[in-house]
Amino acid sequence: MRHLSLSAVMRWRAVRVCALAVFALVAPASAQLENVGSLSFPTSGSPAAQQHFLRAVAILHSFGWKQAIAEFKLAQQAQPGFAMAYWGETLCYNHPLNAEQDADNPRAVLARLGPNTEARLAKAPTAREKGFLAAVEALWGEGDWRKRRVAYMNAMDRLHRQFPKDDEVTTFYALALLSGARALDDNSFRYEMKAGALAMDVFKRNPKHPGATHYIIHNFDDPIHAPLALEAARVYAEIVPAVSHAVHMPTHIFIQHGMWNEVAHQNVRAFQIAKDLWEPGDVPGDMAHSGDWGQYGFLQLGDYAGARARMDLFAQMAETTKHPRAISALALQRARYIVETEEWKVQPTRDNASNEAVLANGISALRTGDLATAEKMEAMLAAKAAAAPGETPAGAHADHGAPPPPAPGGSDAGKSVRIMHRELKALMALAKGQKDAAVGLLEEAVAIEESMRPPNGAADPVKPSHELLGEVLLQIGKPAEAATAFDTSLLRMPNRARSLIGSARAHAAAGHRDVAAERSALLNSFWKGKAVQ
């Protein structure tokens, strides 16, 4: 992440959604911060420095790194020796839940405060401020980043024991626990449960706290625990409209409940906020993520015009930024559009095309009678599957509450491409009249997919194997078995449109009229596309 010049800071401040609320001459210990939530964080800062500090911390809680840096720097300008303004800025250069990308900028921030740890701690006048500062001293010290994150987590644990009723200590400790779990590669969910409980405790006292609402979502961001975060997600969706990540993040919970209107439109807002803040050289992470999920939401609504509009904006972003993440995500969007809409179209495909693009092209070729192209796409997927990491034995299941541990040398990415290869191979067998072979291949695909955790985002693989198995079973005259496959797909991905369509048709064909009517009514409660027969 780049440092911002003062002129860039002022440009950013000029395009805020709303102006900063007016503060009293004496900086308050608590504040309702316009568009970024509400928190209490008394410090030794001067009134002018505290004004910027409070807003910066609120934005930091929502991972609005660029905006938070701007405010922390303004706090430093207002009071050059204000240690907490430097503490906060050090936390803005790395995503705490991802691998470390940049230790140089945080260390440079600390060096601006003082030449060494002793000199810097001397500028923190209270025990609480010394504790916060000591924690980031451990985080940005020497050594392996994983060990430093664990040391930071342990420092925040000690601070929390010292100040157990302090909401800011508690929320930053909750995030440190989650970060530490990632550093330790601990999939037991022990850290997430503890951190989630801490965040929920703060949420009970202050429902508009940006950190509490945000970290509840992160800690329960999986299909098993997502219902625990729904209340916080609804609140978070409303209290921080100034930060792209905060507008997007509730959709991590909404998508796991099949709340497609919210998924689509929250991500439209999140994309636009990120787009307005983007400058040449920035990584388009927030734009790419919200743009991708927004398109998926519109596809599930049957609003294909809306999905195309999101895809067009995504294409403009990829062209403007030239960033690999945006380019690869655009390829995924284009493939997903074809698979979800069933607007089959064979396109030229390069050897380095994405797995999803090859699958979409292969199915398009079969649906349009181009068997030669389908065979070429199947061979490409076969090669990609062979080159991917090893696969878990068929039939293995994930542990509840945590991502499944990868097989030796394996990963869900490797499983996904193997599923897609079997899917295309099955459809080719079906096209040749080999019904049993097609079902067998899809049952293999289902076994692999069931060894993966259910998606906590858009469908992965892009065509769920249970759903495709249901479609094939229905096509070959086995509606009862098809209904079971579709219903399993809906358990993994609630309210997924294609699975609802298939389930309604299969239950109707099997004579289950009441269930078919229920599925149709649920689909029609949100479907904006053409009537489904």
List CB contacts of 241: < 8 A, sequence separation 6 or more. 17, 35, 247, 269, 273
User: What is the rounded CA–CA span in Å between residue 20 and residue 29?
Assistant: 17
The rounded Cα 68 to chain-centroid distance in angstroms is 20
* Res 32: pLDDT: 56
* Res 529: pLDDT: 85
* Res 378: pLDDT: 97
From the list 511, 499, 509, the residue with the least C-alpha distance to 522 is 499
27-68: per-residue pLDDT in tens?
344 555 689 999 999 999 999 999 999 999 999 999 999 999
Q: What is the DSSP letter of 226?
A: G
User: What is the rounded CA–CA span in Å between residue 202 and residue 32?
Assistant: 16
> pLDDT-based confidence at 530, cuts 50/70/90?
confident
* Res 20: pLDDT: 32
User: What is the rounded CA–CA span in Å between residue 223 and residue 495?
Assistant: 13
Beta bridge partners of 37: 33
* Res 326: pLDDT: 87
> pLDDT-based confidence at 409, cuts 50/70/90?
very low
* Res 177: pLDDT: 98
Who wins on pLDDT, 28 or 270?
Answer: 270
From the list 243, 240, 186, 196, the residue with the least C-alpha distance to 221 is 196
* Res 351: pLDDT: 87
Q: Find the helix or strand (DSSP H, E) in which 63 lies.
A: none
> pLDDT-based confidence at 497, cuts 50/70/90?
very high
**DSSP per position, 233-273:** HHHHHHH-TT-HHHHHTTHHHHGGGT-HHHHHHHHHHHHHH
Give this prediction's pTM.
Answer: 0.88
Average pLDDT, integer, range 2-11: 38
User: What is the rounded CA–CA span in Å between residue 452 and residue 487?
Assistant: 18
Please give the single-letter amino acid code of residue 22: V
* Res 282: pLDDT: 83
349: how many CB neighbours lie within 10 A of its CB? 18
Specify whether the backbone of 431 is left (phi greater than 0), alpha (psi in -120 to 50) or beta.
Answer: alpha
Helix, strand, coil content of the chain in percent (nearest 5) = 65, 0, 35
Helix (H, G, I), strand (E, B) or coil at 59: helix
Q: At 30, give phi and psi (nearest 5°).
A: -135, 155
